[in-house]
Amino acid sequence: MKENEPFDASDMILAKPGTVVDSDTLLRNTQTRIWASLKKDYQYAGVPDNSTKFLRQNVFKKFNAVVLYVDLVGSTDMVLGLSFEKLAIIMEAFAQEMADTVVKHGGLVLKFIGDAVIGYFVHSDRAHFTADHAVRCAKSMRFVIREGINPILSQYDYPELHVRIGIDYGTNIVVRYGRDPKLSHVDLMGRAMNMASKIQSVADPDQILIGEDVYNMLHPNLQNDFRIVVWKDVNWKYRSLDTGDLYQVYAHK
C-alpha cells in the first residue's frame, strides 16, 4: 500500500446511527455463559477477529478512532488469592465478555493485555457516531459486570469484578513489525492510544472517564451524563494539542 492512499474501511464492523443494544438480551446471554463456565467447563467460542484483517489492509495508514481501555481492578489480589483454575475462569470470562460487548457496539477488539481489553471505533465518512457508540459500550460493560457477572460470581464465592474505563479520540497509525504481510504482528500507535490508557489509569473503580475530544463529539443527551473532573490528588499534566491548555477529562455521573 502507498502512504497517500486512503485507509480501507470496507471490512469494518459499522454500527448504524441509533443502534441500540438490547440490555436484557446482553445480560441474559452473559449470565448463561458465566454460569456455564463456572459449573460446566464451558469454553468461549472467541470473538470474531475483524481487527487484524482491517489493520493488515491499512498498514502504515493513519485514521481517526475512539479508543477504549477497560482494565480489571485488583487482579494482583486475585492472582495471590485464587487457584490457577479459578483465576483462569475469571480472566477468560472477563476478557471475552468485554470483547463481545465491544463488537456488539460496532467496535473492533485490538488486543488483550494482561487484565485489560483494548477496543477501538473507527471514525470515517461511513461512521460518524463513534464517540456515542464507545460511551454506550463502556456503560454496557459496567452494566454487564454489575448485573450479569458479579451476582453469579458471588453465588459461588468468587470475588466480584470491578473495572476502570478510559476513552479518548485521535489519529492513529497502523504499524507492522516485520515484512510478512500475513504473519507479521500488526498494531496501532497514536496519541489516542496513549491518552486512553492514561485516562483509564486515574479512574476510580467502576468509573468511566473520557477525554475532552470524546466529550465534544458526543450527542448532547450523552454529554449531560458527564461532569468535568476537578483534579485533587492526581498530578494530571497532559495538554491539548489544539489549544495547549490542560486536557480536560470528564467522568460519568
pLDDT of residue 19: 54
Q: Which of 30-39, 172-181, 232-241 has the highest mean pLDDT?
A: 172-181
d(C-alpha 246, C-alpha 168), whole Å: 15
Higher pLDDT, 217 or 15: 217
d(C-alpha 51, C-alpha 107), whole Å: 9
pLDDT above 90: residue 116? yes
Residues 147-154 have a mean pLDDT of: 93
What does the CA dihedral 21, 26, 87, 78 come to, rounded to 10 degrees?
70
- In Å, how far are 6, 110, 113, 142, 181 from 185, measured between CA atoms? 21, 12, 15, 31, 9
Residue type, 235: N
Please name the residues in contact with 60: beta carbons below 8 A apart, sequence gap of 6 or more: 1, 3, 173, 174, 175, 176
pLDDT above 50: residue 158? yes
pLDDT above 50: residue 16? no
Please state the separation of Cα 149 from the chain's center in Å.
17
* pLDDT classification of 127: cutoffs 50, 70, 90: low
Q: What is the pLDDT of residues 78-95, one digit of tens each?
A: 888 888 888 888 899 999
pLDDT of residue 9: 56
Residues 132-137 have a mean pLDDT of: 96
Q: What is the pLDDT of residues 46-72, one digit of tens each?
A: 877 889 999 999 999 999 999 999 999
* pLDDT classification of 1: cutoffs 50, 70, 90: very low
Phi, psi of 95 (to 5 degrees): -65, -45
pLDDT above 50: residue 17? no
Class of domain 23-252: alpha beta
Based on the number of CB atoms within 10 Å of its own CB, is 104 exposed (0-12), middle (13-18) or buried (19 or more)? Answer: buried
Q: What is the percent of the chain with per-residue pLDDT over 70, rounded to a whole number?
A: 91
* pLDDT classification of 8: cutoffs 50, 70, 90: low
pLDDT of residue 77: 83
Higher pLDDT, 91 or 128: 91
**Domain boundaries along the sequence of the chain:** 23-252
